[in-house]
Structure 1
Amino acid sequence: MASFKQNNWARACVGAVVASMALAASLPLHAQNTAPNAPIPASSTPEYRLGAGDVVRITVYQNPDLTLETRVSESGVVSYPLIGQVRLGGQSISAAERAIADGLRNGNFVKQPQVTIAVLQVRGNQANVLGQVNRPGRYPLEVADMKLTDLLAMAGGTAATGADIVVITGTRNGRPYRAEVDLPTIFASQSRGEDIVIQNGDAIWVDRQPMVYIYGEVQRPGPMRLERGMTLMQSLATGGGLNQRGTEKGIRVHRKGADGKVQIITPAMDDVMRDGDVVYVRESLF
């Protein structure tokens, strides 16, 4: 009988150990390594800050009569029942919620107000996307750390005629700001720092792609995209190569100089082409 009780007691102990191990395995790694009652680390992601023109809905838990849909004025304030003018412009959502809660509490209107603010329309933080993109226009910055690639994606990406270089203009710390970003380098290894954070009022300009023009005795004369480091031979190959009447000895390139004047040069086949170059292939005399 004693042996039977001891076996049951041993089984119970083993079952408790297995259950505790299973519970620990089911918890996230940070929960397994965190002491009880330890505070949860706050997120490092910056919050969206309200701007003039934003439309918000303000609600107070168990106080439906205090629900308000309003627009943040140009001066950054809203008029809220009982407490009057409250400055919300430039504040994060959580800070704006605390400002209204403090006003209700300090005025003895609500003892323990639980305020929630939802942004219905983003109008205060916007940026312009212009040039060679699929959907140019003015776009809201719905998150605080929206990157250049995020905004270009909202605009449908660069068009087929768009260049790889993107220009960002705006203001930083009260001073004019301008930056040129080479889009392909953003996705190169360890180059994510080039993906600039867009701020309110920025303008993104995507210029047309660089072009080279080929005419004369080639298979497919006309304009074509100038790829990076493209040589004369590669540009001719893009045009289908010389036809039966063309000759390499008769190739001339018309290139505009820094002074705006056009120069006529005789390039080698491995010379790198430039934006706006005009390649002329002459007819063979024999």
Structure 2
Amino acid sequence: MKRLMMWMMAVLLGLSFGIAQAADITLGPGDVVKASVYGNPDLAIETRISDAGRMTFPLVGEVDVNGLTVQQAEKKIVGLLQSGGYVKKAQVNLIVSQVASAQVSVLGMVNRPGRYPLEGGKRGVMDMLAQAGGFNADGGDAVSLVRTRNGATTKTVVDVIDIVRNGGTNKDLELAPGDVIYAERSPRFYIYGEVQRPGAFRLERQMTVAQALAVGGGLTPRGTERGISVKRRNGDGSLHVVNVKNDDLVQVDDVILIKESWF
């Protein structure tokens, strides 16, 4: 079932990429741009946009392109070349060879953590998760998105599995430069006592005590399913012990004790 879900997620993420539209890239400090003017090979350059958001272009000097799309920057340079009398009917082409200004950090339980460019216009959390290679073996089903807008920083949890299962791409969130995606570790439960494989295991959604027992390899010859107890944390963090049945649901960080049979 898990493999099927991972395959479904990969398909959905692959479809969400599409083809990047170079004209939609927003320019900013650190970006490297290749520029050319049709019929004027001497005006071809490759330059890095300065910290002030300016690029140096032959004949017209410094051009403020910070926050402009590639298409808008092309039109601006065309206007400067024509208004200055340098080229009568200029056709300017800009290609962004390195994107450094518009980046998003993807951290946590992913296969390729790092910083990734927001190329191709609008990008969502699912796009960037795919760029980072998806969840690794310790990854869970959700990511936390940390965003700063108008001076206020917020944290939003994105349920990736819910989006995949229900096709709810409208629940995906659009990203902006500087956003941070943190892939959470999968929730765990613990089982010990008279089971074949005591230890910590991944907690699947809607997992029952009986299923948790199966994950632990089942009972030892001395084990019993009677009187199973669980150490569970309250909302204030304190521990309490509850008796559970096989069809009860396991909660995050539950510690399940399988007792020895007296008979």
TM-score with structure 2 length normalisation?
0.88
* Counterpart check, 1:235 vs 2:212: yes
2:130 corresponds in structure 1 to 153
Residue aligned with 1:98, SS: helix
Aligned to 1:86: 63
SS of match in other structure, 1:57: strand
Whether contact under 8 Å (2:74, 2:92) holds in the other structure is yes
- From 174, 177, 199, the counterpart of 1:200: 177
Match of 1:267?
244
Shift of 1:174: 4.8
SS in 2 for 1:65: strand
Separation of aligned partners in 2, 1:90 and 1:65: 27
When structure 1 is superposed on structure 2, of 74-83 and 212-221 the one drifting more is 74-83
Match for residue 230 of structure 2 among 242, 253, 262: 253
Alpha-carbon shift at residue 264 of structure 1 (Å): 1.2
Could you report, residue by residue, the CA deviation over 1:173-215 in whole angstroms, capped at 9, with x for unpaired residues? 5532322111012123451111222211110001110011111
How far does the alpha carbon of each residue in 1:103-153 deviate from its partner, in whole angstroms, 9 at most, with x for none? 010000111111000001010110101000011111111111122222111
d(CA) in 2 for partners of 1:141 and 1:134?
A: 19
Equivalents in 2 of 1:112, 1:144: separation in Å?
A: 28
2:97 equivalent to 1:110: no
CA contact (8 A) 1:213 1:279 kept: yes
Q: RMSD between aligned alpha carbons?
A: 1.7
Aligned match of 1:72: 49
CA distance in 2, matches of 1:51, 1:175: 22
Is there any run of 5+ residues in structure 2 with no aligned partner, and where?
1-20
Q: How many residues align?
A: 243
Aligned twin of 2:32: 55
Separation in structure 1 between the aligned mates of residue 77 and residue 23 of structure 2, nearest angstrom = 21
Q: Which has the higher contact order (CA 8 A, sep 6+)?
A: 2
**Which residue in the other structure is 1:141 paired with?**
118
**1:224 CA drift (Å):** 1.0
Secondary structure in structure 2 of the residue aligned to 1:283: coil
Aligned AA (1:162): G
Q: Which has the larger radius of gyration?
A: 1
Alpha-carbon offset, residue 259 of structure 1: 1.8
The one-letter code matched in structure 2 to 1:154 is Q
String of CA shifts for 1:219-272, please: whole Å, max 9, x gaps.
221111101111111111111221210112232111122222111111122211
Identical aligned pairs, as a percentage? Answer: 46
Given that 2:28 and 2:101 are in contact with CA atoms closer than 8 Å, whether structure 1 keeps it comes out as: yes
Q: Determine if contact 1:212/1:224 at 8 Å carries over to the other structure.
A: yes
Aligned 8 A contact 1:61 1:115 in 2: yes
Structure 1 unaligned regions, length at least 5: 1-43
Q: Which amino acid aligns with 1:107?
A: G
User: Is the CA contact (8 Å cut-off) linking 1:47 and 1:143 kept in structure 2?
Assistant: yes
Distance 1:259 1:178, change over 3 A: closer
Which residue of 138, 154, 157 maps to 1:180? 157
